[in-house]
Amino acid sequence: MNWISVKERLPEKSGSYLVAIKRYSGRYRVERKQYLAGYWTMKRDEVALSEKVTHWMPLPEPPKEDHAQD
C-alpha cells in the first residue's frame, strides 16, 4: 500500500484510514482517523491548527487466524 496525497485525491467513502499529519516542526505523525462527509475527524481536545493531514491510505486487513498452529 502506498500513501495517497490529499492534493491528489480524498477517500471516496467515509471510514477509518491511516493518515500522515505534518506537524508545525516539519516532522510527520501517523495515526488512525475517521473520514466523514469530506472532513477528517479531530478529537475534542485536539487544537493543533498548524498540523494537517497531508497523506492517507486505507487500513490494512487484519491478520488471518492460523488454526493449524492452535
Domain residue limits at 30: 4-60
Q: How far apart are CA 35 and CA 51, in angstroms?
A: 16
**17 in a domain, yes or no?**
yes
- What does the pLDDT look like over 57-67, one tens digit per residue? 999 888 888 76
**26 in a domain, yes or no?**
yes
**65 in a domain, yes or no?**
no
**9 in a domain, yes or no?**
yes
Q: How far apart are CA 13 and CA 38, in angstroms?
A: 9
**68 in a domain, yes or no?**
no
| Cell numbers placing 30 | 501517523
pLDDT beyond 60 at 14: yes
pTM above 0.85, yes or no: no
pLDDT beyond 70 at 33: yes
**Total tally of structural domains belonging to the chain:** 1
Which amino acid, 43? Answer: K
